[in-house]
Amino acid sequence: HIQNRLEPVYETLPGWRTSTLGAVSRSDLPENAVSYISRLEELVGVPVSLVSTGPERNHIVPMNP
């Protein structure tokens, strides 16, 4: 099995203490949150289109205009 030959790679990224609730655009997000999203995009090779910022369905930030 291929799983037996895989080895995880751990990365530590800076976090953020500022709430994202109420953010409506990429510029409203904390800088470290945007950096985290950018790193995810690099790793998976796919752009992030929406980020959830709260419990409600309308608590989303479109990432690519």
Residue type, 37: I
52: enclosing H helix or E strand: strand 50-52
- Look at the domain 2-62 and name its fold: Adenylosuccinate Synthetase; Chain A, domain 3 (3.90.170)
Domain ranges of the chain: 2-62
pLDDT digits (tens, 9 = 90+) for 24-55: 999 999 999 999 999 999 999 999 999 999 99
Find the angle CA(22)-CA(24)-CA(28) to the nearest 5 degrees: 80
| pTM (predicted TM-score) | 0.82
User: What average pLDDT does the chain have?
Assistant: 94
